[in-house]
Amino acid sequence: MTDPAGENGPDRETPGSPAPQQPRQPEPADRPRPADQPGPVQADRPVYADRVYRSTMGVIGGVLLLAVALWLIVDAVVYGTGRTPWVALSAALLFVPLVAAYTLRPVVRADQERLTVRNPLRTVVAPWATVESLRSGYSVELFAGGGKYQIWAVPVSLRQRKRATTRAARAAAEDPYAGRDDRGSALRPGARRSAVAGAPDPTRAWSDQVVDTLRETAERNAGRPEAAGEVSATWCWWIIVPAAVGLVALVTLIATG
């Protein structure tokens, strides 16, 4: 027997019929998440790769000098007579560490927290917050923490700078707007409108390009909390001590010979 129309309307439940589903309330956006539930990915600052600078010609020259010194020392030790082998070993103890220190050791490493300058006889670590400026004159200099430090790994070549100036003048003559932006304003030195980001600029010397890059890195990372700290300078005793011992031994052998 059927129910009359309207007796079992949409608001009445019949036995065995499923209960109507309630609409789901949206969760508030600021509701705290459990500790084990990952939240949305936060946009962080871009991550830049570490930059390392060193003189290629210095490394090549150092390898050649060490090869020649090793050949002369071995020849003197094997075929020398009298005090010659001892003089050769003393000279090796003096000159080999110094040649390696002034040719192979210098390097500059820049990451997001600090600038590390490895000079021949000491290492300077300057957090970006302490870097005051970098200057490229007759040599590259770092001003940080109230001190001035030479950067041996980036030598300044006046000949290379002169060639770069000639190329810049030639490029400016061919394209007067090459050094200006779309509004006609002059760009900063080294920022050419047609240059590819990260590519070498033939109108700038290599040392000047490195200084520009380090300045930009310092400005970008100086505000990071992990970039704070103090400048530290440590001497490279593993080079100084053998060289001093070799000098004393060489002077003693020559004086008593």
Amino acid at 97: P
Q: How far apart are CA 105 and CA 107, in angstroms?
A: 6
Q: How far apart are CA 124 and CA 118, in angstroms?
A: 6
Q: Tens of pLDDT along 152-167? A: 999 998 888 888 888 8
133 pLDDT exceeds 50? yes
Q: How far apart are CA 164 and CA 167, in angstroms?
A: 5
Q: Which of 163, 160, 137 is nearest to 150 (CA)?
A: 137
Q: The pTM is what?
A: 0.71
Q: Which of 111, 112, 151, 114 is nearest to 229 (CA)?
A: 114
- Token look-up 């300077």 returns 124
Q: How many percent of the chain have pLDDT more than 70?
A: 71
117 phi and psi angles, rounded to 5 deg: -115, 115
Contacts of 188 (CB under 8 A, 6+ apart): none
Q: How far apart are CA 117 and CA 214, in angstroms?
A: 12
In a 3-state reduction of DSSP, which class is residue 140?
A: strand
Q: How far apart are CA 150 and CA 134, in angstroms?
A: 10
CA 89 from centre of chain: 37
Q: How far apart are CA 30 and CA 28, in angstroms?
A: 5
Q: What is the mean pLDDT of residues 8-12?
A: 48
Amino acid at 114: R
Q: What is the mean pLDDT of residues 54-78?
A: 95
User: What is the overall mean pLDDT for the chain?
Assistant: 81
Q: How far apart are CA 66 and CA 52, in angstroms?
A: 23
Token digits for 56? 């290629």
Token digits for 82? 């009298």
Which of 36-40, 178-182, 197-201, 246-250 has the lowest average pLDDT? 36-40
CA 172 from centre of chain: 31
Q: How far apart are CA 252 and CA 228, in angstroms?
A: 49
pLDDT at 119: 97
Token digits for 161? 């700078």
- CA angle, 216 as apex, 213 and 220 as ends, to 5°? 140
Q: Tens of pLDDT along 190-242? A: 444 344 445 677 788 899 999 999 999 999 999 999 999 999 999 999 999 99
249 pLDDT exceeds 90? yes
Q: How many other CB atoms are found less than 10 A from the CB of residue 82?
A: 8
